[in-house]
Structure 1
Amino acid sequence: MTASAWKPLEIRPEGIAPSAQGLVEYLRDRTDFADVLTREKAVVFRGFHVAEQELEAVMDLLLPNRLSYLHGTSPRTKVGANVYTSTEYPPEETISMHNELSYSHEWPSRLFFYCATAPATGGATPVVDGGLWLDSLDPEVREAYAGGLRYIQNLHDGLGLGRSWKEAFETEDREAVESFLDAGQADWKWLPDGTLRIISQVQPATIKHPVTGTEVWFNQSDQFHPAALGDEVAAELAQIMPPEELPQSVSFADGSPIPDEYVLQVRDRGLAAAVNVDWYEGDLMVIDNVAVGHGRRPFTGDRRVLVAMSG
Structure 2
Amino acid sequence: MLELGELLVQEKAIVFRGFNVTPETHGSAADALLPQRLAYVHGNSPRTKVGQNVYTSTEYPPELVISMHNEMSYAHAWPGRLLFYCEHAPTTGGATPIVDGELWLESLDPEVRAAFGGGVRYIQNLHDGYGLGKSWQDTFETGDPSDVEAFLTGTGADWKWRDDGTLWISQLRPATTRHPVTGIEVWFNQADQFHPAGLGDDATALTEVLSSDEIPQSVTFADGSPIPAEYITHIQETGLRLAVDVDWRAGDLLLIDNTLVAHGRRPFTGPRRVLVAMSV
What is the TM-score normalised by the length of structure 2? 0.98
The match for 1:274 among 243, 248, 253 is: 243
Which residue is 1:167 aligned to?
138
- Tell me by how many angstroms 1:45 deviates: 0.5
Alignment of 1:133-212 (within 5 A): 133-200=104-171, 202-212=172-182
The CA deviation string for residues 200-255 of structure 1, in whole angstroms up to 9 with x for no partner, is: 1x20000111101110000000000011112x433321122233431000001111
Which residue is 1:93 aligned to?
64
SS of aligned partner of 1:143: helix
Counterpart code for 1:301:
G
- Please tell me whether the aligned partners of residues 225 and 249 of structure 1 are also in contact (alpha carbons under 8 angstroms): yes
Q: Which runs of 5+ in 2 are unaligned?
A: none
- Please tell me whether the aligned partners of residues 152 and 244 of structure 1 are also in contact (alpha carbons under 8 angstroms): no
**Is 1:81 the equivalent of 2:52?**
yes
- Please tell me whether the aligned partners of residues 221 and 250 of structure 1 are also in contact (alpha carbons under 8 angstroms): yes
Greater fraction of residues in helix: 1
What is the TM-score normalised by the length of structure 1? 0.88
Moved over 6 A (4+): none
SS of aligned partner of 1:67: coil
Q: Distance in 2 between matches of 1:48 and 1:65?
A: 22
Q: Which has the higher contact order (CA 8 A, sep 6+)?
A: 2
Which residue is 1:58 aligned to?
29
* Aligned alpha-carbon RMSD (Å): 1.0
- Please tell me whether the aligned partners of residues 37 and 288 of structure 1 are also in contact (alpha carbons under 8 angstroms): yes
Counterpart code for 1:113:
F
Provide the aligned length of Structure 1 versus Structure 2: 280
Q: Distance in 2 between matches of 1:238 and 1:305?
A: 32
In the superposition, relative to structure 1, how do residues 244 and 139 fare at CA in structure 2: closer, same or farther (>3 Å)? farther
Which residue is 1:19 aligned to?
none
Q: Distance in 1 between matches of 2:93 and 2:145?
A: 41
Structure of larger gyration radius? 1
Q: Distance in 1 between matches of 2:163 and 2:35?
A: 41
- Percent identity, please: 64
Which residue is 2:39 aligned to?
68
Which residue is 1:306 aligned to?
275
Counterpart code for 2:129:
G
The match for 1:123 among 94, 102, 108 is: 94
Of 271-280 and 234-243, the range deviating more from structure 2: 234-243
Which residue is 1:21 aligned to?
none
- Please tell me whether the aligned partners of residues 208 and 214 of structure 1 are also in contact (alpha carbons under 8 angstroms): yes
Which residue is 1:245 aligned to?
214
Which residue is 1:6 aligned to?
none
Q: Distance in 2 between matches of 1:152 and 1:162?
A: 13
Which residue is 2:185 aligned to?
215
Q: Distance in 1 between matches of 2:113 and 2:195?
A: 17
- Please tell me whether the aligned partners of residues 117 and 303 of structure 1 are also in contact (alpha carbons under 8 angstroms): yes
SS of aligned partner of 2:112: helix
The CA deviation string for residues 70-121 of structure 1, in whole angstroms up to 9 with x for no partner, is: 1011111000010000110000000000000000001000000000000000
Counterpart code for 1:181:
L
Q: Distance in 1 between matches of 2:218 and 2:128?
A: 18
Q: Distance in 1 between matches of 2:214 and 2:108?
A: 30
Q: Which runs of 5+ in 1 are unaligned?
A: 1-29
SS of aligned partner of 2:25: helix
Q: Distance in 2 between matches of 1:42 and 1:31?
A: 14
The CA deviation string for residues 16-44 of structure 1, in whole angstroms up to 9 with x for no partner, is: xxxxxxxxxxxxxx770000000000000
Which residue is 1:227 aligned to?
197
The match for 2:253 among 284, 289, 292 is: 284
The CA deviation string for residues 255-284 of structure 1, in whole angstroms up to 9 with x for no partner, is: 111111111111110011100000000000
Counterpart code for 1:310:
S
Q: Distance in 2 between matches of 1:244 and 1:293?
A: 30
- Please tell me whether the aligned partners of residues 152 and 198 of structure 1 are also in contact (alpha carbons under 8 angstroms): yes
SS of aligned partner of 2:76: coil
SS of aligned partner of 1:245: coil
Q: Distance in 2 between matches of 1:306 and 1:264?
A: 28
